[in-house]
Structure 1
């Protein structure tokens, strides 16, 4: 019984990791003094929800001196191509 439960938990963890690996968000961020703005796309390592993405993106941007303004959307790999040119050098940068 415990062997079966362990296997189920392992498979659930692997499945969740695979889903998170295919999760992306686009966002808007800023820096002050002087004011700089950017639109970017980031691959998410954690939960694939807008609230969780906001926390993850804010932390990662903050480490680089940026402040998150907003999470625009959460999407899968199929949405990368249409956002690549708009994100420019901030496409999968962080």
Structure 2
């Protein structure tokens, strides 16, 4: 009985740990569109906090919407969202 309880507890801790490890990640970026030239700064949720992986994801999503990625400025967790909201304006979590 003790072994079963220990196994269940261990499994529960592993599941809880993996959920915490998959916390939300965000990237802020700059993009452009031609004819006429338009520029924007935006923030989007990404699946990885790795900047290189995020760059590919941001680039693909923007391209589907007619935008060209200029650069990913950085990646961050939820604690960095509020300070970027005003600057991103209509492009805050849009894509």
Same fold, judged at TM 0.5 (above): yes
Residue 21 of structure 1, CA deviation:
4.7
In structure 1, the partner of 2:42 is 40
1:26 aligns with 2:28: yes
What is the rounded CA distance, in whole Å, between the counterparts of 1:18 and 1:32 in structure 2? 41
- Report the aligned-residue RMSD: 2.1
Match of 1:91 in 2: 92
Residues 1:53 and 2:54 are matched in the alignment: yes
What secondary structure is seen at the aligned counterpart in 2 of 1:56? helix
Give 5+ residue unaligned stretches, structure 2. Answer: 1-10
Structure 1: any 5+ residue segments left out of the alignment?
1-6
Aligned residue-pair number: 84
With structure 1 as the length reference, what TM-score do the two structures score? 0.79
Looking at structure 1, the residues matched to 21 and 38 of structure 2 have their Cα atoms a distance apart, in angstroms, of 33
